[in-house]
Chain A
């Protein structure tokens, strides 16, 4: 599965795939962390998507990046699934 190729990329801490209801389907992290990330990021992605569409109904969300002190979370959204990748970029 391509998830392995992403997981082995430089600095990637974890990768997971979440379905349209926010339930994780594939993950490389432990259960409790995965559930936490899946639930929270699913909500945030829906909010970001509605924000973009409210500003311009012809527009849509393609990618979401959250940069924090410790690492960067990247969300690739889709109609049915969400791909979440957590990377620790080289400082």
Chain B
């Protein structure tokens, strides 16, 4: 706001500025006489107004201009989402209402002294030392229950290459083929099954026989279907038969496609499908280095769903391995065993003698030029110290998540822990090859091995950690025993197949069937001996 300077008829004498208005008026009247006559008509008010106006000082002020700026804001786009939890599992432990707590406390006070007294007595008691109760009839010796064979196969000089018990534990099936060198690519062979629970069992006449155009090298019964059995052939094919249909047993086959193995199949295993626990897939491993997962689709065709390939350059360098010549990049897989604790973890035995820890969930692509309809991945995560020769059999402990056994052509059985590369113990069981090793399904410290000298060796780590507890002579002429399997339903039975084409079903003594008092702890202690 601008204030105006009032006009003044004549400049004020200097001395008047500092005086107040009354003094100004006095001076004005003094100066009345000085005003010209013609100006005297001006009223006093006008004059004082004119004078008072002159006291005004000129000041101006102005606020600073308001700073403005333009900015825009907008709400973010939003998406509707719904979340729903599943109904919680009902809590089975009932929360105690506040009212009852004093009664509970009183009860505990009442019984506490008595219980602690009994706990102490128990801890020091020797009353039950050496006291054992026998509920079942004691079997002191190992005896041979059945000697089974198929004469036409034995006449051709075929060996029993694979053996399997079915899901009910009453049927044992064996695969015939040959495991030694020779031109057996056009050999016809058989898969035979005997039902041990059937009355009138004839050892020379199997309850089911399937003729197969090529040698069968491995066999595995379906985990829930009592009559389905999968087999791996010398030609690299994988076949699944239904033994309850004698006229046309073949259910599924892989056929000879680009996906099929190019080498004989070493082992087949049934795996539950992820997400559908009642449907199963077949996993096959072969010496061409591929681990393939098959599913039965449509009209009898096994289709490849997932595949893995072992390549030398992609193996984890946890141990020093022999350098191979440039040409050999594939690592042949000879045996497979899945962990009972982690369904995607498996151990592979290789021709190089080193077991590999692998996972179905591995994602890295395999550097291989082998054709395949499904991308092949590299499964190996850890390499263990090698045997002196190829590994023929691996078995994961059903009682401890880290322990597994491997047996190979050097006649040694190695007990590995998955936590370290060198084995925990190494036992020499045979001067020749070892063809199979299996953990017992009921006793955590017992395993069985099949040797090239015709023996089935039973090892009880609780009794002795150096030599086998029981040595069963299966063949009289020292021809090798190629395969063995424990029966998980009837736990006293052990079946073993040999080079003479016979399957012998052994009944084990009771000590191999019943768990000892502290066996699980002893196994944990054994596994804990991991070198730091």
Contact = CB atoms under 8 A, between A and B. Distances in A.
A26 B101 CA distance: 11
B123 A10 contact: yes
Contact of B122 (A1, A2, A89): A89
A25 B111 contact: no
Contact of A26 (B96, B119, B120): B96
Interface in B108-125: 108-112, 114-116, 118-120, 122-123, 125
B518 interface: yes
B79 interface: no
Contacts of B108: 1-3, 17, 83
A64 to B, nearest CB: 11
B115 A24 contact: no
Interface string A1-24: 111011001111000010100011
Interface in A47-81: 62-63, 65, 67, 69-70, 72, 74, 76, 78, 80-81
B98 interface: no
Given A81-B104, A81-B107, A9 B96 contact: no
B446 to A, nearest CB: 17
Contacts of A87: 119, 122-123
A69 B131 CA distance: 10
A75 to B, nearest CB: 10
A6 B312 CA distance: 57
Interface residues of A, number: 37
A26 B125 contact: no
B92 A83 contact: no
A19 B107 CA distance: 11
A46 to B, nearest CB: 17
Interface string B91-107: 11110100000011101
Contact of B118 (A25, A31, A35, A65): A65
Interface residues of B, number: 28
B118 A17 contact: no
A35 B91 CA distance: 10
Contacts of B107: 17, 78, 80-81, 83
Nearest to B131: A67
A18 to B, nearest CB: 10
B118 A63 contact: yes
Contacts of B110: 78
A28 to B, nearest CB: 11
B131 to A, nearest CB: 9
B112 to A, nearest CB: 5
A25 B115 contact: no
B520 to A, nearest CB: 9
B116 A9 contact: yes
B517 A85 contact: no
B104 A25 contact: yes
A34 B94 CA distance: 12
Nearest to B107: A81
Nearest to A27: B93
A63 B122 CA distance: 14
A91 B515 CA distance: 15
Contacts of A11: 119, 122-123
Nearest to A17: B104
Given A80-B103, A81-B104, A74 B92 contact: no
A46 B112 CA distance: 21
A9 B111 contact: no
Given A17-B108, A25-B93, A81-B104, A12 B119 contact: yes
B119 A2 contact: no
A12 B123 CA distance: 10
A35 B112 contact: no
Given A11-B123, A25-B104, A91 B518 contact: yes
A48 B103 CA distance: 24
Nearest to A16: B93
Contacts of B128: 67, 89
Given A25-B94, A25-B104, A83 B517 contact: no
Contacts of A2: 105, 108-109, 112
Nearest to A69: B517
B92 A31 contact: yes
Given A25-B94, A91-B518, 8 more contacts: A6-B119, A9-B116, A17-B104, A70-B517, A76-B115, A80-B103, A83-B115, A89-B122
Interface of A: 1-3, 5-6, 9-12, 17, 19, 23-27, 31, 34-35, 62-63, 65, 67, 69-70, 72, 74, 76, 78, 80-81, 83, 85, 87, 89-91
10 contacts: A6-B112, A9-B116, A25-B93, A25-B96, A25-B104, A63-B114, A76-B111, A80-B107, A91-B129, A91-B517
